[in-house]
Structure 1
Amino acid sequence: MDFHFSPEEKAFRQDLRAWLKENVPPDWEGVFLEEEEKEWRQGREFVKKLSDKGWVAPSWPKEYGGMEASPALQLVYNEEMGYHRAPIGSVVQAVGYIGPAILAFGTEEQKKQHLPPITAGEIVWCQGFSEPEAGSDLAALQTRAVKDGDDYVINGTKIWTSNAHRSDWCILLARTDPAAPKHKGIGFFLVDMKSPGITVQPIINMANVHSFNQVFLEDVRVPKSGLLGQENQGWFITIMALDFERSTLVAAAISMAKRNLDELIDYCKETKVNGGTLLDNPLVRHKLAEMTIEIEVGKYMVYRVVSLQARQEPGSIEAAVCKLYNTELDVRVANTGIQILGLYGQLQRDSKWAQLMGRFQKSYMYALAMTVGGGSSEIQRNIIAMRGLGLPRR
């Protein structure tokens, strides 16, 4: 594995970094604030600027608005976007794994219909996977899709659907063959969120913001052209899509954790305590050093996955290891910030006493959620144990 970036990749990093410093909104505070209306609008405006540069989905083919970038250049992009806390939440799912799934399994008609609007920053996608009775055990889903002429009629409920209230389209899993084993009889659908029969109900999360939703589907008609891949191929497509999610989105997350840690170190250098600075405390220095080392480990886990992708080699086990380690690392980094900040670390950003914009308090809550989203830590451990180590299911 070559740990060095090419001259082209280094030049792209410098260009992108300079552009981000100039174009990320000056009042942008980062860290999952796009749930709020003002920040959502800022994010959408930013994505349009990104689209004008052709930088929404660098690795995609040029005919769909991409740059045909290598996995390594895409990694550079993900790192810089994460470190600068770029407001790309409205397209992160579409670019991270929905688009790649359409590229891999879609018809030419589906690609032409759905991919250019993503890279143009014109539409928002959401994910309809989890259900009230099927969360981590995703294959236990109960939503049904029944053929009726040239359509599928879908009935069921989805939950924890981020940005469903703002989305134009949804990728949705539904059971197409109830008699088949639970991993076999699933279809992967592309659903217009304006379809009759779809009701979106908000869920307010523990950070007191509306990002999640419950989605009810009652006799929703989806044309056969809305089926991605073959009728019962949905689970296979989902596994591939989640591998993309785990490997691409984690790169941005680890860079965001690095930015949080860098700012925490600067805070410790500047904050006076007991005649010295926080950084003079050996316990603080030890903890900051520990997190610095762990972030470096996480970064090179990402690099390992990218190197496999570049050689078109299987990497689902490595992606699971990467997702498990780095999402749990995000929790440790956020908790370190809260512990070092003391009581200030528990304050929300709207408090006049909040330090570092209350970032660590909110980061901690979201980091916990990220250990569940995209496949929980328990699921990742099962994948590693069974597929990677060959251990029995029980």
Structure 2
Amino acid sequence: MWLAINGDVYDVSKFAQLHPGGAKVLEEIAGRDVTEEFYELHRHDVLVKYDRLKVGRLQGEHKQVSTGCKGVPFAEIPAFQGQESPFYTESHRRFMEGMQSFVASELMPGAAACDLKGEYPSRELQRKLGQSGVMVSRLGPGPWSSEVEKLGLNMPGNINAKDVDYFHEAIAHQEIARVGLPGFVDSLGAGYLISAPAIHHFGTEEMRKTIFPSLLRGEKWSCLAISEPFAGSDVAQIKATAKKSDDGTHYIVNGVKKWITEGAYSDYFVTAVRTGGPGNKGISLLLIERGDGVSTSQMKTTYSTCAGTALVVLEDVRVPVSNLLGKENEGFKLIMYNFNHERWFICQVLLGQMRAALTDAFMWARQRKVFGKPLIEQPVIRNKLASSIAALESMQSYSEVLTYDMGKSKNGPVGDRLAGPIAMFKYQCTRTAWKIADDTVQILGGRGVTHTGMGSKIEGLKNFAKYAAVYGGSEEIMADLAVKQAMRSFPTTARL
């Protein structure tokens, strides 16, 4: 049984017995050009996976379809599709192309299988993420940029690490997120990126010389262990305790942490513990290394287990007092220090997944035929696309203005002034994600609620939208925080 797709001829004689739809389906179409039928059912990735079945080309034939999303309207950030923008430079363009190349060569080939099987990222992949400069790029601008050359790291697009700004970081998050598999995407640094900066900012000089470089190189991995069964958004209520040993050399830590992203395979846990009295003034931050007394178990959530979402149990863990981050009983403000940047980072991941889902929905609407004509010729479909496109590009513009503000403000994203705007940004971003997920699922139909295949990125967004609405601060908390922050500067004498 031979058949042709895009002018290439494939021998599916032996593969037919493995075909999910059965051998009979292939028997009935064998000997024909089935390009149109193929793209009704499969993503182009399938052809890459089974390239070994190719036996030749049809004489005089040329490719009938182009692959990838290059040139597809709204498939890229507008600035990279012809829009004049004051925010992006040639460095950003080269960086984007470098990130896209890394994603295509190092992530996409194994992403779907890893996500479906729930396999944790390999140490080899973690090292590639480090050595390629992807992880240091995703940390954003900071003192670590000066470490890149010394550690022998490369940078996507061969840009200068010292040129990295928040726009480079945003591009890195969005390009990885466009893989469209939220469990797999979160396995590539969702916990690392919100914990590693704390080690550098608040750790000892020894940590900065030994532990932090191993994180940048991807040799070690870290996660943030704050949430508990007893405390989510209300961090001040955590119950995990850290009591000093009789000789004062160690903290003895006991407690339970829950929903810890990447906790199942991390080497280090940046952990909130109670060293003092009740409330936020009794909290400290410790760096706990995986070892005796630290046990982790995989939690089942609505996305892939490859993100290593874990229950972390701490039983009489002996932690050297030198592993205290910052000062004792002052950990709460250290936790709050990174929240603004974390929320902004979550939104960048969400923007990437929204764009991936919308791109696939647009492409599907063009190639899917219903009632004898392309789906996109139905006015209701064009209306859903227009509505979602307007929502996405509004959020992209919102993001760029806020990102510019972060880069120009004296204290960057950690400044008090930006807490409210970033909270409101996250609230609106997660609301927008729900809207786009709703529209794109309807466009893809059954494929939009199927974990694999044509609608995998749409199904992924449908799941991730709720994650993003909860972690890093729930929607309700974000909306309330934004208004509270605004009220601080409300003129007391103002009246209608």
SS in structure 1 of the partner of residue 312 of structure 2: strand
The separation in 1 between residues aligned to 2:98 and 2:383, in whole angstroms, is 35
Give the Å deviation of 1:384: 0.8
TM-score (norm 2): 0.70
2:146 is aligned with 1:62? yes
Given that 1:152 and 1:224 are in contact with CA atoms closer than 8 Å, whether structure 2 keeps it comes out as yes
Given that 1:131 and 1:158 are in contact with CA atoms closer than 8 Å, whether structure 2 keeps it comes out as yes
Given that 2:354 and 2:461 are in contact with CA atoms closer than 8 Å, whether structure 1 keeps it comes out as no
How far does the alpha carbon of each residue in 1:110-151 deviate from its partner, in whole angstroms, 9 at most, with x for none? 222322111111122222111111122222111111122111
Residue in 2 that maps onto 1:13: 96
8, 33, 45: which is aligned to 2:115? 33
| Cα separation, partners in 2 of 1:91 and 1:83, compared to 1, 3 Å | closer
Higher mean Cα deviation, 104-113 or 18-27? 18-27
Given that 2:115 and 2:304 are in contact with CA atoms closer than 8 Å, whether structure 1 keeps it comes out as no
Given that 2:225 and 2:270 are in contact with CA atoms closer than 8 Å, whether structure 1 keeps it comes out as yes
The separation in 1 between residues aligned to 2:227 and 2:116, in whole angstroms, is 22
311, 318, 326: which is aligned to 2:421? 318
Residue in 2 that maps onto 1:53: 132
| Cα separation, partners in 2 of 1:29 and 1:140, compared to 1, 3 Å | same
The separation in 2 between residues aligned to 1:189 and 1:96, in whole angstroms, is 17
Counterparts of residues 102-117 of structure 1 (less than 5 Å): 102-117=199-214
Residue in 2 that maps onto 1:198: 294
The separation in 1 between residues aligned to 2:174 and 2:332, in whole angstroms, is 29
| Cα separation, partners in 2 of 1:306 and 1:237, compared to 1, 3 Å | same
Give the Å deviation of 1:228: 0.8
The separation in 2 between residues aligned to 1:79 and 1:376, in whole angstroms, is 21
The separation in 1 between residues aligned to 2:328 and 2:133, in whole angstroms, is 34
Give the Å deviation of 1:330: 2.3
Residue in 2 that maps onto 1:177: 276
The separation in 1 between residues aligned to 2:330 and 2:170, in whole angstroms, is 29
Given that 1:201 and 1:213 are in contact with CA atoms closer than 8 Å, whether structure 2 keeps it comes out as yes
Give the Å deviation of 1:27: 4.6
Given that 2:298 and 2:305 are in contact with CA atoms closer than 8 Å, whether structure 1 keeps it comes out as no
SS in structure 2 of the partner of residue 204 of structure 1: coil
Residue in 1 that maps onto 2:176: 81
Higher mean Cα deviation, 61-70 or 305-314? 61-70
SS in structure 2 of the partner of residue 160 of structure 1: strand
TM-score (norm 1): 0.87
Given that 1:91 and 1:118 are in contact with CA atoms closer than 8 Å, whether structure 2 keeps it comes out as no
| Cα separation, partners in 2 of 1:309 and 1:231, compared to 1, 3 Å | same
Counterparts of residues 218-229 of structure 1 (less than 5 Å): 218-229=315-326
Amino acid of the residue matched to residue 78 of structure 1? H
122, 132, 135: which is aligned to 2:219? 122
Higher mean Cα deviation, 165-174 or 21-30? 21-30
| Cα separation, partners in 2 of 1:308 and 1:35, compared to 1, 3 Å | farther
Given that 1:156 and 1:218 are in contact with CA atoms closer than 8 Å, whether structure 2 keeps it comes out as yes
Counterparts of residues 1-394 of structure 1 (less than 5 Å): 3-29=86-112, 33=115, 36-37=118-119, 40-41=121-122, 44-58=123-137, 59=141, 60-63=144-147, 65=151, 67-68=161-162, 69-84=164-179, 89-93=186-190, 96-148=193-245, 149-179=248-278, 182-194=279-291, 196-207=292-303, 209=305, 211-313=308-410, 314=415, 315-349=418-452, 355-356=454-455, 358-390=456-488
| Cα separation, partners in 2 of 1:15 and 1:359, compared to 1, 3 Å | closer
SS in structure 2 of the partner of residue 61 of structure 1: helix
| Cα separation, partners in 2 of 1:363 and 1:79, compared to 1, 3 Å | closer
SS in structure 2 of the partner of residue 33 of structure 1: helix
Higher mean Cα deviation, 133-142 or 303-312? 303-312
The separation in 2 between residues aligned to 1:166 and 1:35, in whole angstroms, is 16
Higher mean Cα deviation, 260-269 or 148-157? 148-157
Structure 1 runs (4+) deviating above 6 angstroms are: none
The separation in 1 between residues aligned to 2:262 and 2:134, in whole angstroms, is 22
| Cα separation, partners in 2 of 1:300 and 1:35, compared to 1, 3 Å | farther
Amino acid of the residue matched to residue 171 of structure 1? V
The separation in 2 between residues aligned to 1:35 and 1:185, in whole angstroms, is 42
Amino acid of the residue matched to residue 157 of structure 1? V
How far does the alpha carbon of each residue in 1:273-323 deviate from its partner, in whole angstroms, 9 at most, with x for none? 112222112221111111111111222222233222212343222221222
| Cα separation, partners in 2 of 1:35 and 1:140, compared to 1, 3 Å | farther
Give the Å deviation of 1:201: 3.0
Given that 2:192 and 2:223 are in contact with CA atoms closer than 8 Å, whether structure 1 keeps it comes out as no
SS in structure 1 of the partner of residue 400 of structure 2: helix
The separation in 2 between residues aligned to 1:95 and 1:208, in whole angstroms, is 18
| Cα separation, partners in 2 of 1:355 and 1:199, compared to 1, 3 Å | same
Give the Å deviation of 1:207: 4.4
Given that 1:247 and 1:305 are in contact with CA atoms closer than 8 Å, whether structure 2 keeps it comes out as no
The separation in 2 between residues aligned to 1:282 and 1:178, in whole angstroms, is 62
| Cα separation, partners in 2 of 1:346 and 1:248, compared to 1, 3 Å | closer
What CA RMSD, in Å, does the superposition of the two structures yield over aligned residues?
2.7
How far does the alpha carbon of each residue in 1:198-249 deviate from its partner, in whole angstroms, 9 at most, with x for none? 2223321234747422222121111112111111221111112221211223
How far does the alpha carbon of each residue in 1:69-107 deviate from its partner, in whole angstroms, 9 at most, with x for none? 222322333333333559664452355322222332222
| Cα separation, partners in 2 of 1:202 and 1:261, compared to 1, 3 Å | same
The separation in 2 between residues aligned to 1:98 and 1:165, in whole angstroms, is 15
Amino acid of the residue matched to residue 165 of structure 1? A
Return 5+ residue gaps in structure 2 as ranges.
Answer: 1-84, 154-160, 491-496
Amino acid of the residue matched to residue 36 of structure 1? G
Given that 1:90 and 1:124 are in contact with CA atoms closer than 8 Å, whether structure 2 keeps it comes out as no
Aligned residue pair count: 379
